[in-house]
Amino acid sequence: MAFSLPHFPAQTLTAPTAITQFPDNPKTLILKQCKTIKDLNQIHAHLIKTRLIHNPRVAENLLESAAILIPDIPMDYPISIFEKLEEPDSAAYNLMIRFFTLKQSPNEAILLFNEMCERSVRPDEFTFPCILKACSKLHALKEGEQILALIMKYGFGTDGFAVNALLGLFASCGKVEVARHVFDGMPERSVVTWNSMFSGYTGSGCWEEVVGLFRKMLEMEVGFDEVTLVCVLKACGRLAEIELGEWIHEYVEANGLKGNPALVTSLVDMYSKCGRVDTARRLFDEMPRRDFVAWSAMISGYGQASRHREALELVHVMQKTNIEPTEVTMVSILFSCAVLGALETGKWVHSYVMKKRMKLTVTLGTALMDLYLKCGSVGNAIEVFRKMPSKNVFSWTVLIQGLANNGQGKKAIGFFHSMVEKNITPNNVTFVAVLCACSHAGLVDEGRGFFASMNRDFDIEPMIEHYGCMVDILGRAGCIEEAYEFINNMPIQPNAVIWRTLLASCRVHKNVEIGERSLKNVVRLESAHSGDYILLSNIYASVGRLEDAVRVRNQIKEEGIKKMPGCSVIEMDGIIHEFFSEDNIHPDSEEVYNATENMMKKIKLAGYVPNTSGARLDAEEDDKESSISHHSEKLAIAFGLIRTSPGTTIRITKNLRVCMDCHNATKMISKVFDREIVVRDRNRFHHFKDGSCSCNDYW
C-alpha cells in the first residue's frame, strides 16, 4: 500500500514542577503549578491571609486551578470560590462551565450558561466552545441550535474553535451529514476539525467514511495526529482493513509513538478484530504500562477470535496485577464465560461486580443474564433480570432465548407478552427467540401465530432465520410433509441451514424419502458436514436399511468430508478441561478412561443398555460399544464424578448435539450417582435429574 508519510506534529512535554517554597508575593504562575489539593489549600490560605484574594485577577486564577488543573477535587471547592466572586466575568463563567462539563455534570453547565445570559454577562469567544461541549455530552441538539443563533448574534460565526465545537455537537448527535456539511464549508481546518469529523463518523458507525476521509487526508497531505489514528484504527478493525491497519502500525513504530497507550490499545483492538489476535498479544505484551482499557481490549480480542480459553487465562493473569477491571472488562469476560459455560469464573465476576458496587448497566446485566442462561442457571438469570434498573430489547431477547434453550418455552412466551405490554418493541432477533421457544416446547399453533404476527403487528419482514424456525417447529412436531411444502413455498431461497433442519426432523420421525431429498439439497447448496451424512445414515438404520446406512457412512470417508470432532468442556476451579472423543490429550486421560469404564459398568447394572445405532455400523459390536462409551461427554462426566464432591451439579458444554446413547446414559448416571447433570449441546440444554431429562426426550 503506497501512502505518503505526512509530517507528524511534534509532541510537547510539560514537566510538572513541585512547589518547594512560598514566594512573598505569589504570582499567578505559582497557582498553575499546583498539582494537588494540598498545594492549592496552602496557597488559598495564604491569599486569604494577605487579603490578595480580593484581587479579582488573583481570585480567578485560584478558580482556574481549582476547577481545571487539579484532578479529583471535591465538587464544592471551585463552586465556593466562584460564589464568593463579587462580579464574575465571562472568564470565570467559562471556567465553571468547563468544570461542570469535565465533571460529567453538563446539565449544571447549561444552567450556569443560562444564569450568565440572565445576568447580562457578555459571552466571549471561549464561552461557546465550552457550552457546546456540554451540549455534545447531553446530545442536546435543540439547545445547540439555540446557541448557534447566539454565536451568529455575537459575531463568532467565523471563530475556528466555535465552529469546531459546533461540528462536534452535530457529530455527537448522530447528524453526520450536517457535520460533514459544516466541515466541507470551512475555509480552514485544523487537525481537531478533522478529528471531530472522524469521531462523528465513528460514533455513528460510518466506518467506510472514516477510512475514506483518512485517505483524503493523506492525499491532501494534511497532518494528522494520534487521535486521528485511534479513530481510523477503530474503523479498520470493524472493516477488517488489515492493510491500512498495518500501515498505521508501521507508522507508529517508525515515529516512536508506542509510548501512547491509547494508540497501542487501538492497534491491539484492530489486530484482534482482523483475526490477528497473536499479533495483538505481542503488542499487548510489549506495552510498558497496561491500563484497564488495554486489558479489556485484549480479553475481548480473544473472545472475538473465539479463543475463550485464552481469554479466561488472561483474566487469571490480570487478577494477579493491581488492575481494577471495570464494567466493560466484565462484559468481555462474561462473554467468554458464557460461550464456554464457565459458571465458576462467571460467578466470580458477579460477586466482584457486587463487591465493588459496580453499576448494573444494561450491557453488564444482559451479559450476566446471558452467562447464567448459557450455563443452565435459569433462576440466577431471572434474579439478575429483576434487579436490573433498566432493560432494553436485548435484555428481553436474551431472556426469552435463554428460557427457550433451557426447555422453558411457555415461560419464555410469557415474558414475550409482558415485554410487549411494557411497550418494548421486539425486533427480528426477539422473534427468532420466540419462535425458538415454540419449537423447543412443541407449540405448533402458537408458532404459526407468532410467525404471522411479526409482519402484521410489528412490521418485521420474516428473514431466513425465521423461516428456519418455522421449519424446525413443523418438523419437530412431526409435520414433515407440511415443513417440506413450507420450504418450497418460501418467498426467499432456502439455504443449507433450512434443509439441514428438515433433515434432523426426518431423523427423529424416520422419514427416509424427504430425508434423502433434504441431504441432496444441503450438498447442492454448500459442502455438507459429516454430521449431515450421519443423520441420513441414522435414518436408514432406524428403518432397518443397514446396507444403505453403511453406504452413506462410507461416503464420508471416500469423499474426504471433514469430520467435526466431538468436544466436551468442563470447568473445575476456574480451569477449563477439554475432552475429545477417544483422545488422550488430557493429562489425566488414563484415570479418566478408568473412571469412565467404572461409570458405565455401574449404570449397566442399573439397567442401561448401550444403544449402538449411532455408532459406526461396520464395526464389531464390542468395538461399537467401546466407541460410544468414549464419546467426549461421557469422558467429561466421568471426570466430573471423580473430581467433585458428591451431590455437586456437573455442568458440561459440548460442541455437537447429544446423541441418543449419551442421552440415555446420562439419565441413568444422574440416578445412579445421585447427581444433577446439566449438558449444553449446540442447540439447547438438558437438565438431567433422577433419571429423567428436562427436554422430555424431545430434542
Partner DNA sequence: GCTGCTCTGC
Binding residues for DNA restricted to 232-261, rule: CB under 7 A: 234, 237, 261
C-beta of 412: minimal distance to DNA in Å? Answer: 13
* C-beta closer to DNA: residue 224 or 484: 224
Rule CB under 7 A: say whether 91 interacts with DNA. Answer: yes
Rounded Cα–Cα distance for residues 291 and 102 (Å)? 21
Supply the minimum distance, in Å, between the C-beta of residue 161 and DNA.
Answer: 4
Residue 217 binds to DNA (criterion: CB under 7 A): no
Q: Are 253 and 289 in contact (CB under 8 A)?
A: no
Q: Kindly write down the DSSP assignment for every residue of 293-304, as one continuous string.
A: HHHHHHHHHHHH
Task: Name the one range near DNA by CB under 7 A: 309-317, 366-374, 545-553, 650-658.
Answer: 366-374
Phi, psi of 678 (to 5 degrees): -110, 120
Query: Which residue, 283 or 636, has its beta carbon nearer to DNA?
Result: 283
- Give the nearer residue to DNA in terms of CB position, either 179 or 474: 179
Q: Among residues 33, 363, 644, 664, which is the contact residue for DNA, using CB under 7 A? A: 363
CA torsion angle 319 320 326 330 (round to 10): -20
The verdict on 225 binding DNA (CB under 7 A) reads: yes
Nearer to DNA among residue 301 and residue 407 (C-beta): 301
Closer residue to DNA, CB minimum distance, 397 or 629: 397
414-453: contacts with DNA (CB under 7 A): 427, 429
Distance CA 479, CA 473 (A): 9
For residues 449 and 437, is the Cβ–Cβ distance under 8 A? Answer: no
* Length of the chain (residues): 699
Nearer to DNA by Cβ, of 112 and 328: the residue is 328
Q: How far is the CB of 297 from DNA (least distance, A)?
A: 4
Query: Which of 65, 101, 537, 612 lies at the binding interface for DNA (CB under 7 A)?
Result: 101
Among 108, 226, 446, 681, binds DNA (CB under 7 A): 226
Decide if residue 125 touches DNA (CB under 7 A). yes
| Residue 240 beta carbon to DNA: minimum distance, rounded to whole angstroms | 14
Nearer Cβ to DNA, position 299 or 595?
Answer: 299
Count of chain residues binding DNA (CB under 7 A): 71
Measured in degrees and rounded to the nearest 5, phi and psi for residue 677 equal -125, 125
Phi, then psi, of 651 in degrees rounded to 5:
-120, 125
Number of continuous H segments (helices) and E segments (strands) in the chain: 36, 6
Residue from 269, 310, 472, 633 touching DNA (CB under 7 A): that is: 269
Shortest CB 296 distance to DNA, Å: 3
Q: Which of residues 151-170 bind DNA (CB under 7 A)?
A: 160-161, 164-165, 168
Taking the complex as a whole, the smallest distance from the CB of residue 618 to DNA amounts, in Å, to 40
Secondary element (H or E) of residue 570: strand 567-572
| Nearest residue (CB) to DNA, 675 versus 680 | 680
Interaction residues for DNA, span 170-209 (CB under 7 A): 190-193, 195-196, 199, 202-203
- The grid coordinates listed for 514 are 424427504
Cβ count near 422 (within 10 Å): 9
Closer residue to DNA (CB): 191 or 479: 191
Is the CB of 294 or the CB of 556 nearer to DNA?
Answer: 294
Ordered strands of the 677-680 beta sheet: 575-580, 567-572, 650-654, 677-680, 685-689, 692-693
Among 463, 466, 464, 471, residue whose Cα is nearest residue 450:
466
Report DSSP letters for 489-558, one per residue: T-SS---HHHHHHHHHHHHHHT-HHHHHHHHHHHHHHSPPPHHHHHHHHHHHHHTT-HHHHHHHHHHHHH
Q: Could you tell me how far CA 24 lies from the centroid of its own chain?
A: 58
Distance between CA atoms of 644 and 260, rounded to whole angstroms? 47
**Binding segment (CB under 7 A) for DNA, from list 72-80, 174-182, 286-294, 582-590:** 286-294
Q: Which residues pair with 577 in a beta bridge?
A: 570
- Residue 530 CB, shortest distance to DNA, in Å, is 27
Beta bridge partners of 651: 678
User: Toward DNA, which CB reaches closer, 367 or 541?
Assistant: 367
Distance, in Å, from the CA atom of 618 to the CA atom of 478, rounded to the nearest integer, reads 30
Binding track, positions 380-419, relative to DNA; x by CB under 7 A:
------------x-xx-xx--x------------------
Q: With binding defined as CB under 7 A, does residue 265 bind DNA? A: yes
Q: How far is the CB of 60 from DNA (least distance, A)?
A: 8
Place of cell 464568593: 84
CB of 645 to DNA, least distance (A): 32
Stretch that binds DNA, among 40-48, 324-332, 512-520, 636-644 (CB under 7 A): 324-332
End-to-end, the C-alpha distance of the chain in Å comes to: 52
The distance of Cα 378 from the centroid of its chain, to the nearest Å, equals 21
Report, in Å, the least distance between residue 168 CB and DNA: 4
Minimum gap (Å) between residue 221 Cβ and DNA: 17
- Cα(295)–Cα(302) distance, integer angstroms: 11
Of 30, 47, 70, 130, the one binding DNA (CB under 7 A) is 130
> How far is 647 from 123, CA to CA, in rounded Å?
72
Selected range binding DNA among 21-29, 47-55, 358-366, 480-488, rule: CB under 7 A: 358-366
Q: Binding of DNA at residue 516 (CB under 7 A)?
A: no
- Cα radius of gyration rounded to whole Å, the chain: 32
